[in-house]
Amino acid sequence: MAKDEIILGIDPGTQLMGYALLRIHNGQPQVLLMDIIKLTAQKDIYARLETIHARVCELIKLYKPSTFAIEAPFFGKNVQSMLKLGRAQGVAIAAAMQAGLTVTEYSPKKVKQSITGNGNADKDQVWKMLQRILQIEEKPQYFDATDALAVALCHHYQSSSPLAAAGKGIKGWEAFIAKNPGRVKKM
């Protein structure tokens, strides 16, 4: 019997940070936790970063996830906001790496594509699909929490697909052909 996998998904932010824990039991995803950290009470960015680090460390200690997935920041027009978001993401990643977790980063478009089939889906479409897939009744107050859950589920889909299993350790077509010469048809 395979051991359950637990994925910690993070939607980084400097005002609200979403997080979710997803258990994979017999190949089926189950929500353990989905919530946010409100960081707006702290004016100091460094205090916010410390809060992010402490909460991620606490989640890792309590739930013992096997992997960590985080949404990559999308490129906006405000450079200062991007720098702050990058710091928040880096602090969360550092906490995961410090705990020995494998870190995987997904673009917002990849997450949406993985959950809804449409890389341009809006947050409500992503939420409705999560509700359907994971049989969740109660809508959370903030989409940051559902975004984190979508990141975790995206990671499950990406890491459990037959293509992911076939391509472990393969970078590009040349490496695939070298590793699988019998699968090449010569014409």
Active site residue 71: yes
Separation of alpha carbons 137 and 77, rounded Å:
36
- Coil/strand/helix, residue 146: helix
Q: Tokens standing for 113?
A: 């594509």
4 is in an annotated binding site: no
71 is in an annotated binding site: yes
Active site residue 147: no
138 is in an annotated binding site: no
Active-site residue (options: 5, 11, 35, 147): 11
b/e per residue 159-178 (b: at least 16 CB within 10 A)? beeeeeeeeeeeeeeeeeee
Active-site residue (options: 71, 124, 137, 147): 71
Separation of alpha carbons 95 and 110, rounded Å:
24
Alpha helices in the chain (DSSP H): 45-63, 79-98, 108-116, 123-134, 143-160, 162-166, 173-179
Pick from 148, 181, 153: which is nearest to 12 by CA?
A: 148
Active site residues: 11, 71, 144
Q: Binding site residues for Mg(2+), as ranges?
A: 11, 71, 144
